[in-house]
Structure 1
Amino acid sequence: MPLELVTVPCLKDNYAFLAHDAATGATAVVDVPEAAPILNALAERDWKASHILITHHHDDHIAGLKALAAATGARVIGAAADAHRLPKLNEALREGDTIRIGMDEGKVIDVSGHTVGHVAYHFPASGLVFTGDSLMALGCGRVFEGTMPQMWESLTKLAVLPPDTLVCSGHEYTQSNARFALTVEPDNAALQARAAAVAAARAEGRPTVPSRLSEELATNPFLRAGRPEVKRAMAMEAASDAAVFAAIRSAKDRF
């Protein structure tokens, strides 16, 4: 049975996630912007947090971690490369390591770029990947600590996951990301339709996260940097995929 997913809005525009295994009662919390909404979501379902998975060290992903860990006794899990700037970890993992939530097993993917040491957690049997601020809905994180080629490599790791995978990313940035994406591919019909659907969802106060990887592959300019039509749009037909990605990311930084 796949993990049951709950999206928990936090702070102004962050998301945390609950991933619950009904067979065993195990529940993972992915990222902790603040503790109170997560504790409320757990209490509403009579679930107990057993694991806390951290994608990266930025404060808006870990600010509530100590309070949540103290309240639940959950095991805290994060990247070994980030351990020196995370709250104390019970398990420090590296790319390729596995983590079990009840009956389901996830794999750690190094997605450095936004930060060095950023990880994603892929649960293939449940069709879920928790990407933090690496791959986002219609976007990707700003490259703060890593390099542009490093970020492109990280995105390509995520792009080859099964297309029906749900991408559970860390922020409600989709509407602004859509506005930028349309400057890159204004004639992309799938993108036009998605931008309209996102605008309608936000007008009704509905979240646009998680998103389906197949939808990202069809509309997210950062995943599409290697596509001939995107290279033409950027007037970079002869450039490498990584160079086109860097140009798109730099344009977004100025947008």
Structure 2
Amino acid sequence: MLHIQAIPAFQDNYIWLLSEEHTGHCLVVDPGDADAVETALARLNLTLSGILVTHHHWDHTNGIEALTKNRNIPVYGPDNIEISGITQPLNDAQTLTVLNTRFRILKTPGHTLDHIAYFAHPDQDDPILLCGDTLFSGGCGRLFEGTAEQLHESLNKLCSLPKNTRVYCAHEYTLANLAFARTVEPGNRSIEEYRNRVIQLRKENRPSLPSSIELELAINPFMRTDQHSVITAVREHAPQAVLSGDAEIFGALRQWKDHF
């Protein structure tokens, strides 16, 4: 069985560590901080056997060089020459098998143009989504390179995944995102119930993640742009804007969050 745990890094990053029971081998996802990874490997007595990367931003890639300096291990990631150290470039719909688990690559541009996510459905366990900065619990990534249409399409792709999919995002942004979600949908009781759970988790210094696709469909306004309550809130916030389609609603919602 695949075991997943968080390695906190920087102010709010999570480097996800995937390990296989009884073998001692593991992978890390988006290792921006090599020292944090090395500390975790020593503490857990694990052997690093590969790296997964979702996109090129420094806080997801800066640890690659140090982690591979004395290790002959594969580095999987987007087909992007800007990311130094990638040995196995990946594109949409490709598959790879690591730690006896088959992952499917989902191209998810918007936050960056090269962004990909990793989806797997291990035997006898819930599906897994390693989504980097495309999807956050209660929110989504900023539009640094892509368009609102691209990110909206990427999130729609994730919406179609099995509802019990466990969602492993790369940042602990949940409480801040839920503050915005409450503003968009003040009558959404699921948001309030989830916020109370997250407050308790954070008081205990525990990650709010993983989330799930089912939960995000209930509380995340960026996954709910087809809902009347979200559409109405966006139109009231931007009454002068011409918002004729879902992507335009999404774009206006993202702009609202940018200045929230």
On whether the aligned pair clears a TM of 0.5, the verdict is yes
State how many pairs are aligned.
Answer: 252
Which residue is 1:252 aligned to? 257
| Partner residue, 1:96 | 93
TM-superposed deviation, 1:21:
2.3
TM-superposed deviation, 1:118: 0.4
Deviates more, 1:17-26 or 1:143-152: 17-26
Is residue 85 from structure 1 mapped to residue 82 from structure 2 by the alignment?
Answer: yes
Q: Which amino acid letter does the alignment assign opposite residue 255 of structure 2? A: S
Deviation digits for residues 189-233 of structure 1 (CA, Å, limit 9, x no counterpart):
000111122222222322112212211110011111112222123
Equivalent residues of 2:24, 2:45 under 8 A apart:
no
Q: CA deviation at 1:75?
A: 1.0
The aligned amino acid for 1:146 is: G
**Which amino acid is 2:28 matched to?**
V
Query: Distance in 2 between the 1:165 and 1:73 partners?
Result: 32
- Which of 101, 105, 116 is equivalent to 2:102? 105
Per-residue CA deviations over 1:21-47 (Å, capped at 9, x if unaligned) read 236544221111101121222222222
1:17 matched to which residue of 2? 16
The answer for the alignment partner of 2:7 in structure 1 is 8
* Aligned equivalent of 2:245, options 240, 243, 251: 240
The answer as to 2:117 corresponding to 1:123 is: no
Q: Distance in 2 between matches of 1:226 and 1:26?
A: 43
Runs of 4+ in structure 1 off by over 6 angstroms are none
Q: 1:143: which partner in 2?
A: 143
The percentage of counterpart residues that share the same residue type is 38
Q: Is the 8 A contact 1:15 1:33 kept in 2?
A: no
| Aligned-partner Cα distance in 2 for 1:105–1:23 | 19
Deviation of the 1:74 alpha carbon = 2.3
- Residues 1:171 and 1:71: Cα distance change in structure 2 (over 3 Å): farther
SS of aligned partner of 1:78 = strand
Alpha-carbon distance change, 210 to 72 in structure 1, aligned in 2, over 3 angstroms:
farther
| SS of residue paired to 1:16 | strand
Aligned 8 A contact 1:15 1:172 in 2:
yes
Root-mean-square deviation (CA, aligned residues, Å) is: 1.7
The whole-number CA distance in structure 2 between the counterparts of 1:254 and 1:209 is: 25
Partner of 1:152: 152
Q: Answer yes or no: is the 8 Å Cα contact 1:24–1:102 preserved in 2.
A: no
Q: Which runs of 5 or more structure 1 residues have no equivalent in the other structure?
A: none
1:192 aligns with 2:192: yes
Structure 2 gaps of 5+ residues are 237-242
Residue aligned with 1:100, SS: strand
Alpha-carbon offset, residue 52 of structure 1: 0.3
Q: Equivalent residue for 2:33?
A: 34
Structure-2 residue corresponding to 1:73 = 72
d(CA) in 2 for partners of 1:38, 1:185? 38
Amino acid at match of 2:37: I
* One-letter code aligned to 1:227: Q
